[in-house]
Structure 1
Amino acid sequence: MRRMACVAAWVLGMAVAAGAAPIPLQRGVGVHEWLNWSPVEDDGSYSWPPYRSEQEWLAGHRPLTDWPGGDEFARVRSMGFDFVRLSVDPGPLLASEGAKRKQALDILAAAVERITSAGLKVVFDLHGVTQVPANSMEMIYGGADSEGVARYREMVVAVATMLVKVGTDKVAIEPYNEPAYYPCDSSGSDDWQRIMAGTVRDIRAVSSEITIVATGACGGSIAGLVNLTPDFDDSNLYYSFHMYEPHSFTHQRPDGTNTFASGLPWPADSSTPEVVAETLKAQMDAAGLISVEQVMNMVAAREAIARYFEQNWGQSQLEASFRQAVDWAEAHGIPGRRLFMGEFGVILMSTDGRMGAFDADRLRYLRAVRQQAERFAIPWSVWEFSNPHGMTVIRPDGPAVPDSLMLQALGLP
């Protein structure tokens, strides 16, 4: 009887959702450092109550006095963003039940309301991390019928129930971030298809009105999206993909302390392999690397540089990537405005030249990606608001002021 009731609720929810529409989203920014990587104790358990306060977040990588004061989310709104993609560590929710879980959910509800009070919408992104293995995304990789998936989906239902109370006109739920089910073609199992479809059914049994952000596997890439069959679709869903193509450009970073990986251009034909290699050598000279270290670096770097230029990444390949997503949507009767580019960004070159792209190349890439998304009316969220890792709207050092050139590349005032 209970199973029949659940099925009936899901069918009714799907029917009502079919006449709905997702909350309108246009230009967003990720906030990752606040409610992710929830603090843990020495024994590996979560500190309780979980999650950081807003002040602890802002003071995490710079003095609190670097921030200008006032309402930080009002600042986000004034930059031209209309929503925040809020990364939330699901670990404390998975590790708790009863009164403790309710306490964690209450903290998260207050955080969402804090953002929406500034006039911003929220995409609530359950963003699993690795610090507590038992409650990391590894728990969902045992297959669609595994106990880990069942536990995770039960947690998603609790989150959806909380968000509905906050207001379905203000929030969307994104239950998975960059799921690592591979391979990225039809040769793989149907586990991810079943997990995503089942999770949508779970949420719809809670609410027909809350917006859901679904995703393909393969790290949330376009390759994963186009391998998804949206047989669970309703008009109140977005379909996510992340744009870090080519990864060799967006994530230029070395493997060790005395290694360098930086300076690849965008587009590739705006420079040459020789110029990139010469620039890299000059940066190693400036950093004081001895000759043997430079030689070892250049052996690895020349191979990566040659591969990048052979691929000749540029505007046409970027357009082809977007076209894959748009063609998939059109083939399934899904309008482009219900695609969702949940992340894109480029690591900015560090001051010592060890990692990242030159600012001019980074800005060209950000502008090109943003323009492609807007060409198809795809809402987007840039990665991310503030961090020390080189992908940040707020400048990483000194006074916490926006990167005005980055905002310009994003088409913001």
Structure 2
Amino acid sequence: MTRTLRQIVRSSVFILLSLGMGYAAPLELRRGVNLEGWLELVPFRPITAEQTAQLETIKKSGFDFVRLMVNPAFVIEARPGAPEPQASLERVLKATQKQNLKVVVSFYDLSNAKAQVLKGGTARDTYLVLVEKFARLLEQYSSSVVFEPIDQPVDPENWNCAPSSFDWNKVQGQFMAAARRGAPRLTLMATGLCYSEGDALTQIRPLEDKNVLYSFQYLEPLIFTQQGNPGNLEWNVLKGIPYPANAAQLKTSSPGLLAKISDPKLRQKVKAALEGYAGSGFAEADVRMALGRVSGWARQNNVSVLLKSFTVHSSAPRKDRLRWFRDVRLNAERQKLAWSVWTWQSPFGYGILEGGKLSAEVKAALGL
């Protein structure tokens, strides 16, 4: 057999194996943006023409995919025969196809219902049926859609992420198997425990299914990225926290910040957090090492990874916010990680738009 013929035979065998054994490669993603508030916030609101029109701007800005969060409760609670929420979902999917944008669809639930699903029993059985049916709906869009059956999982008996015996590999395997039953061709997305934290991703066992992306989120240091967060009492009082950590600057600004906190316990807690951050020296090198651990795991296991969410609240010092976005984005790209920034617009202060527009400075930070 000639060398050329051997190459042809090997290629043919590989193609047949790929088609016959579900070894299709996952969709390739590069630069994306999350669509907070579209289909995950309660109460449900149908997608409008104004929202789908934004997808053209997103595409022209330089993004090649969007991440759409869907609250599974909306699907579960839909009345038989009712057009919504499926009609809204399909409006988004068809609009993204028109703009040549890929879509990561994530089941995203911040309610206590997710804990019941993770605990098991009837709640999980019901959820597995839902995942299979929803994946079947998405299968027709498999050339441009990725499906994540659950986002930000955590041990339901251990919300602080301490070491535990919770078998996330087994539980996630059930979610992925249900999705695969519904959609043989669809790219699926797996994640780690501890709210999809990066180091937790490196602890999971990669699936045998090759048409799977792996994902994590990055928010470090929380004292910087979450300052001004209205949903957290401790973070909401923070203001003017710099990045990188600047001990001299924090020494000057901390007394005034602490003086505005009337609750003594909260004041002491914030004081300790400020002192810890001041002494940490947190900088770009820490970002590089954190993302490097994930990319090292990806190379070792020959899998593709998406940094599905990274963000800083808009109340952070603007130049530091831009610098953090740039450092995370650059290191993700250098480590061969796809990324999606949180978020296009936000009712909670995390949007990348400023005054309704994507500024030249934000575009530069994101390499767009």
TM-score (norm 1): 0.76
Q: Tell me whether 318-327 or 240-249 shows the greater mean CA deviation.
A: 318-327
What is the distance in 2 between the residues matched to 1:266 and 1:240?
A: 25
Alignment deviations for residues 303-356 of structure 1 (CA, whole Å, 9 cap, x no partner): 22101122221122212211221222233233xxx111000010121xxxxxxx
Indicate which of 148, 158, 166 corresponds to 1:174: 148
Alignment deviations for residues 121-165 of structure 1 (CA, whole Å, 9 cap, x no partner): 1101111132xx5xx32331314xx21111111111111111112
- The corresponding residue for 1:309 is 278
- The corresponding residue for 1:125 is 106
Change (3 A) 1:374 1:97: same
Alignment deviations for residues 177-214 of structure 1 (CA, whole Å, 9 cap, x no partner): 11122575764221x21121122222222333211111
Q: Tell me whether 381-390 or 106-115 shows the greater mean CA deviation.
A: 106-115
The correspondence of residues 21-60 of structure 1 with structure 2, limited to 5 A, is 21-39=25-43, 51-54=45-48
The correspondence of residues 190-229 of structure 1 with structure 2, limited to 5 A, is 190=167, 192-229=168-205
What is the distance in 1 between the residues matched to 2:119 and 2:79?
A: 22
Alignment deviations for residues 356-406 of structure 1 (CA, whole Å, 9 cap, x no partner): x201111111101001110122110000011132211222xxx52223322
Indicate which of 69, 81, 84 corresponds to 1:99: 81
Runs of 4+ aligned residues of structure 1 deviating over 6 Å after TM superposition are 294-297
The correspondence of residues 258-407 of structure 1 with structure 2, limited to 5 A, is 260-269=237-246, 271-277=248-254, 280=257, 293=262, 299-334=268-303, 338-349=304-315, 357-395=316-354, 399-407=355-363
Alignment deviations for residues 246-293 of structure 1 (CA, whole Å, 9 cap, x no partner): 222211137559973122211114853213326747xx8xxxx6xx84
What is the distance in 2 between the residues matched to 1:343 and 1:52?
A: 24
Tell me how many residue pairs correspond in the alignment.
347
What is the distance in 1 between the residues matched to 2:55 and 2:248?
A: 39
Contact map agreement 2:46 2:85 (CA 8 A) in 1: no
Indicate which of 185, 190, 209 corresponds to 1:234: 209
What is the distance in 1 between the residues matched to 2:297 and 2:350?
A: 29
What is the distance in 1 between the residues matched to 2:145 and 2:47?
A: 21
Change (3 A) 1:308 1:15: farther
- SS of equivalent residue, structure 2 residue 109: coil
What is the distance in 1 between the residues matched to 2:98 and 2:235?
A: 46
- 1:224 shift after superposition: 1.9
What is the distance in 2 between the residues matched to 1:313 and 1:198?
A: 38
- The corresponding residue for 1:353 is none
RMSD: 2.9
Partner amino acid, structure 1, of 2:221: P
In structure 2, list runs of 5 or more residues that go unmatched: 1-16
Contact map agreement 2:134 2:182 (CA 8 A) in 1: no
- 1:170 shift after superposition: 1.1
- 1:99 shift after superposition: 2.9
- 1:116 shift after superposition: 2.1
In structure 1, list runs of 5 or more residues that go unmatched: 1-11, 40-49, 59-69, 350-356
1:75 maps to 2:57: yes
What is the distance in 2 between the residues matched to 1:322 and 1:233?
A: 24
